Amino acid sequence: MITRRHLMGTAAAATALPFLPRAARAAAHSAAPVLPAAQRFTIGDMAVTALSDGALRIGPEALQGIDAEGYARAMTDQFIEPDDFRAAVNAFLIEAGDTKMLVDAGTGGAMGPDLGRLMGNLEATGTAPEDITMILASHLHPDHVGGAVDGGSAIFPNAELAFHEAERAFWTDDAIMQQAGESNAMFFNLARSVLDVYGDRLRPFSGEGEVAPGITAMPLPGHTPGHTGFAINSGDDSLLIWADILHVAPVQLRHPEVTIGFDVDPDQAAATRADILDRVVADRMMIAGSHINFPGLGHIMQAGEGYAMIDARYPYPA
């Protein structure tokens, strides 16, 4: 059932979407050479490579539970210019033996020229789109699966698409789409087109369970109904790719109750965030985030009333 609160969530998201880059930023980009942004980490017998798709502006107007002043204070305390904060958009390549899988696929052309860098960075790892055998979709938002399609065709011709069944149920529901209004139609259309294009290669899952050897789907609902993390276990190592548990890490680690307009169910998103933060602190589990500053891997520790992140050590070659 869709409540008014759910719809307000998606409506707020649409007005806050930072689709267009600032002119000054575009000029700065064109002046500097763009180096590959791909960082490979070893998790037991597997390799996980963080791939940058770019970054997007998320200002205080997109958040609930904090005002502009509180946002600015959190940023300034952490040496970030509040007007200039941009959240990363990361995807992750998992290599297990000869198998190559992607957790999410970036924005493609869905969100403007500041983003859509995933394919270039994937290429820098020596991986071709044809090599990818599975896309593990954390959810069906455009910054996670927009890059899986180009119009009506698949970017990854040999990949199965694994996703939580609750995502399909939500995004393909005509009544929900109608209630969400014209301003949110793009979210629904994009999700539907991805499901369409990968039609004969869809691998829906529901609940917690193994989706590939050593990779366990962990439902983390709230941001979207089927929002899911992927836990990788190999040898003594583990990594939880928790996707969109944080959108504005400098704010939401300090204030985990702060939600974002993109949350379909903000209360559930905040409760899920509180639970998983507790759990990764207790278990000392390494995490990777879709919107945490690239490469987005690290550990979480308690800090005062909230949390802080210790970035993963740079993986120097042995």
Contact residues toward Zn ion (CB under 5 A) are 143, 244
Nearer to Zn ion, 53 or 131 (CB): 53
- Find all residues with CB under 8 Å of 316, minimum gap 6, and list them: none
Q: How far is the CB of 141 from Zn ion (least distance, A)?
A: 5
Q: How far is the CB of 281 from Zn ion (least distance, A)?
A: 23
With H, G, I as helix, E, B as strand and everything else as coil, classify residue 75. Answer: helix
The string of DSSP letters for 232-275 reads EEETTEEEEEEETT-SSHHHHTT-TT-EETT-SSHHHHHHHHHH
**Number of alpha carbons in the 13 Å side-chain half-sphere of residue 222:** 22
Nearer to Zn ion, 140 or 239 (CB): 140
Q: How far is the CB of 242 from Zn ion (least distance, A)?
A: 11
Q: How far is the CB of 253 from Zn ion (least distance, A)?
A: 17
Burial status of residue 98 (CB atoms within 10 A of its CB: 0-12, 13-18, 19 or more) = exposed
Nearer to Zn ion, 131 or 244 (CB): 244
Nearer to Zn ion, 244 or 265 (CB): 244
Q: How far is the CB of 262 from Zn ion (least distance, A)?
A: 7
Q: Are 202 and 160 a contacting pair, CB within 8 Å?
A: yes
- Find all residues with CB under 8 Å of 64, minimum gap 6, and list them: 12, 258, 259, 260, 261, 266
Which strand (E) or helix (H) includes residue 194? helix 185-197
Nearer to Zn ion, 244 or 263 (CB): 244
Q: How far is the CB of 165 from Zn ion (least distance, A)?
A: 20
What span, in angstroms and rounded, lies between the C-alpha atoms of 46 and 36?
Answer: 21
Nearer to Zn ion, 85 or 96 (CB): 85
Q: How far is the CB of 138 from Zn ion (least distance, A)?
A: 8
Tokens read off for 287: 């995490």
Nearest residue to 51 (alpha-carbon basis) of 96, 88, 18: 88
Tell me which amino acid residue 198 is: Y
Nearer to Zn ion, 55 or 101 (CB): 55
C-alpha angle 140-167-155 in degrees, rounded to nearest 5: 35
Nearer to Zn ion, 214 or 298 (CB): 298
Q: How far is the CB of 143 from Zn ion (least distance, A)?
A: 4
Nearest residue to 221 (alpha-carbon basis) of 195, 255, 239, 244: 244
